[in-house]
Each structure stands twice: as C-alpha cells, then as structure tokens.
Amino acid sequence: MSVLPEGFVQYHFRTAIGGFFEIPTANAIRILPPHLQPVEPHHGQSVLSVMAFDFHDSMVGAYGELIYSVHVAPRLAPGGRLPRAAFYPFLLGTTTKASREHAIERWHLPHFMHDIELTFDRGPHDVRIAAKHGGRPIVDMHLTDHSWEKVSHNYQCHMHDTAGSYQSTIVMEGPFSESEDERGSLMMHDHPFNAALDRAEINTTPFREMWLKDGLQTFHPLQHIVVP
C-alpha cells in the first residue's frame, strides 16, 4: 500500500466495470434523499449504474463488490475540478464481512448485509459478471471493450444515512475503455437485492460501458455536507 495523506484510502483492483442504464426518473427519485437530484439524459429517464470490482489489495484484503448507484447532479465549489460523473450508491454487496463493515463504518455506504458471490468471466474483448446470494441469482451483466488508454479520472460519490449526508472524491486510475456501442446487456433477477428497482422499466442495453484493468481506486477524505 502507498503512503498517503491522512484520510486518503486506496484499493487496488484487477477489474472494474460499469454499465449505465436508463430508468424512469420516478424510480430514481424514490431512491434518492431529498437534497439530491437525478441526472436525466432524456426527459423522464434517469441513469442507473451497475458497477462491479475485483479488488486484490486493500486494508481489508481481497474481495468483490457490486454497486448500484443513481447518477446525480454534482456539488461544485468555486475553482473546483469538475467530476466526470457524480453517483449516489444506494446499495452495495460484497463477498466478505470485513469489507462490508469497513465501507459502512468509514464511508457510510448502504449494504446488503450478507456475503454475495461475485464471479468475473474475462475475455479478450468483453467481460461478464454474475452475482448470487444463497444460490439465487441477483444480476448478470455483459460489457464489451473499445479502444484503451491510461487515465486518471475524478468522480464524486454521495452518501446519506441516519448520521447525516456526506461526499467524497474518488480517483480511478488505470488502463481504461469506454464506449457507447450498445453491445452489452443486463439481466436483473427476482431477488431482494433488486427491491428498490422497477425491473421491468429498466432499459437493459447500456448506453455507456466502462472497463478498467489492473488499476487503483483512491478515496479522498469524507466530507460532511450540511443540507436543509
């Protein structure tokens, strides 16, 4: 692990993927706390991101992570760097108890409170993930690659729980592929993990696909946000 300033935390991954899917804005609003507003690529349609990470080195060891988020309008400060996107993660699943407890305590992130199974099937130009719990399928996602370049991208992450509202900057580094070729797919199954979503109303073809290999995720210190 690198020596970092106080409050910064790094996670090394083999694979990080994300698919962006259109969902009804009414569904997004039901998920979000009142102080956050969904981003609409089209009127009446907001953005659901389904992300999966295969972490091999972190302060809580190796683990897999599945993240459901709604894209929201970023909070901007004068002179601040504009993030590529802002997310509100509303449910995470992890493969280990230690990683789950770490993310809840340190980052105030909401979790499915049981270990899930998360598998990655990596091909030369595509990747498939399958998430299960107790033998029951949760979600299957297939994404494809495009051209690759090495990047360092800033994102904004928002958190909210009974203790308050928070945000953090997340920096993603590594070889990166992004496309809008609409070659991927999503299958969400009947499982409590998906209870917040109107599954029949989700566009299961991603309008954007992202893939990073052998990279690094850096969380900046958590900031407490005062909201009305």
Domain CATH for 190 = 2.40.400.10
Q: Is residue 149 part of a domain?
A: yes
Q: At CA 50, angle to CA 48 and CA 51, rounded to 5?
A: 140
Predicted pLDDT at 124? 94
Q: Is residue 4 part of a domain?
A: no
Provide the phi-psi class of 61: left if phi over 0, else alpha when psi is between -120 and 50, else beta: left
The burial of 47, by beta-carbon neighbours within 10 Å (0-12 exposed, 13-18 middle, 19 or more buried), is given as buried
Instruction: Name the E strands within 58-163.
Output: 63-71, 86-94, 117-122, 126-133, 136-144, 148-161
Q: Residues 63-68: what's their mean pLDDT? A: 98
The burial of 140, by beta-carbon neighbours within 10 Å (0-12 exposed, 13-18 middle, 19 or more buried), is given as middle
Q: Residues 121-136: what's their mean pLDDT? A: 96
Tell me the chain's radius of gyration from C-alpha atoms: 17
Q: Is residue 2 part of a domain?
A: no
Per the structure, the count of domains in the chain is: 1
The domain containing residue 217 runs over which residues? 9-225
Q: Residues 185-196: what's their mean pLDDT? A: 98
Residue 227's pLDDT band, with cuts at 50, 70 and 90, is confident
What pLDDT, in 10s, does the model give residues 129-157? 999 999 999 999 999 999 999 999 999 99
Q: Is residue 1 part of a domain?
A: no
Q: Which of 23, 67, 33 is nearest to 155 (CA)?
A: 67
What pLDDT, in 10s, does the model give residues 19-36? 999 999 999 999 999 999
Tell me the whole-structure pTM to 2 decimals.
Answer: 0.96
Predicted pLDDT at 81? 78
Task: Assess whether pLDDT exceeds 80 at residue 80.
Answer: no
Q: Is residue 63 part of a domain?
A: yes
Predicted pLDDT at 1? 44
